Chain A
Amino acid sequence: MNEQDLKLQAHFDGELPEAEARQVMSRLARDSDAVALLHTLKSTRQALSTFEAGIKVPETREFYWSKIRRGIEVAEASEARVQPVRESFLFRFRRLLVPAAGVALIVIAGMVLTRDDWAGRRVELETALADSKAFTYRDYASGTTLVWLSYPAEQENSAGVGGTID
């Protein structure tokens, strides 16, 4: 919007001195764009005045605005009452508790999964170098060690428990 248009708007609002108002009038007589702008301003004012006329406040003006003021004051007071959030010890402890619980779960799962009962029976088998006929079997789950001598059985073996057993 240029200076001429601003002058036209001021003239429309009745704010121009008489000399400048005459200049605007002469411009309106020869400039169709200025006339169009004036029509636009008129129709805008009319539309706004129609819209405003439709709104009716049930209370008096003073009471209406005092309600808004009180509402703002109440809102400001309640905002002032809100304390800044302080992290209590319990809150911080809880925050630590979550990762700690996660680590504990992993450790427990590891322990459980590596238990003999869960990971299968842990056994150990060894053969004595000094006696290739003997081997040792160790069952860690039951805490039992077997030393087996795989010599062929005698009719009455070295332990004296063959045949008649004892």
Chain B
Amino acid sequence: MAFLPCGAGELGGCGGHDRLKMKPKLAFAIRAAILGCLFLGTAAVAADSKLEAQLVWGTNDKDSPNPNHKPVDAKVRERLQQLPLKFTNYFLVNQKTFTLPATGSQRVQLSHKCDIEVKKQNEDEIEVSVIGKGAQVVKRRQPLPKGEMLVVGGNAPNSTAWLVIVKKLE
């Protein structure tokens, strides 16, 4: 190895220090272990992330006309109510959990006309693009550590709203 200037099988063996001599197999094992640690460390830094995307309908109506729509999770509801939105009820239209690779991006379909494309920028930062009817509606790049929530929303007919929620799970 380059950082071991002395001959193979010896660590610090320059100058004839016999007490520091190692057997070739032991030296190889140490080098392999160092390489392994470096590899694992790199892999840990560039690990895949697990995210969750939700398409939510915000309304003041008590019920959704679609019986498949369920109210959002209580924690999500509580956080949505902290936002400056006027809606009293939020219904989950669709929810998908997906793995975001360390490099590259992931496209997730939330409805027949709403997709999102998520790209990992670094360990905590992501770029989210909301695509409606095949066209990019908005692109947002921001840190999204575990536990935080990104909400992208807009007006829907009858004074309601659509919301796309992205959360990092792992």
Binding site for B on A (CB under 8 A): 121, 131, 134, 136-137, 139, 141-166
Contacts and interface: CB of A to CB of B under 8 A. Distances in A.
A83 to B, nearest CB: 58
B152 to A, nearest CB: 5
Nearest to B84: A137
Nearest to B112: A160
A159 B138 CA distance: 11
Nearest to B134: A158
B64 A142 contact: no
A159 B162 contact: yes
A57 to B, nearest CB: 92
Given A146-B153, A162-B160, 6 more contacts: A147-B151, A148-B153, A149-B138, A153-B154, A161-B57, A164-B65
B107 to A, nearest CB: 15
Tier of interface size on chain B: 35 or more
B152 A149 contact: yes
A160 B155 CA distance: 11
A160 B150 contact: no
B64 to A, nearest CB: 7
Q: Interface on chain A toward B: helix, strand, loop, or mixed SS? A: loop
A165 B66 contact: yes
B35 interface: no
Contacts of B138: 131, 134, 147, 149
A157 B84 contact: no
Interface of B: 55, 57, 64-66, 69, 79-80, 82-85, 91, 93-94, 111-114, 130, 132-133, 135, 137-138, 140, 142, 145, 147-158, 160, 162, 164
Interface centre among A131, A139, A147 (most CB of B within 10 A): A147
Interface SS majority for chain B: strand
A159 B114 contact: yes
Nearest to B143: A145
A148 to B, nearest CB: 6
B55 A159 contact: yes
B82 A144 contact: yes
Given A155-B157, A159-B162, A139 B83 contact: yes
20 contacts: A134-B138, A136-B140, A137-B84, A139-B79, A139-B83, A145-B148, A146-B84, A146-B153, A150-B154, A153-B160, A154-B157, A158-B133, A158-B154, A159-B164, A160-B111, A162-B162, A163-B157, A165-B64, A165-B65, A166-B112
A134 B111 CA distance: 22
B129 to A, nearest CB: 11
B155 A161 contact: no
A159 B87 CA distance: 18
Contacts of B151: 144-147
B127 to A, nearest CB: 12
Contacts of B153: 146-149
Contacts of B83: 137, 139, 144, 146
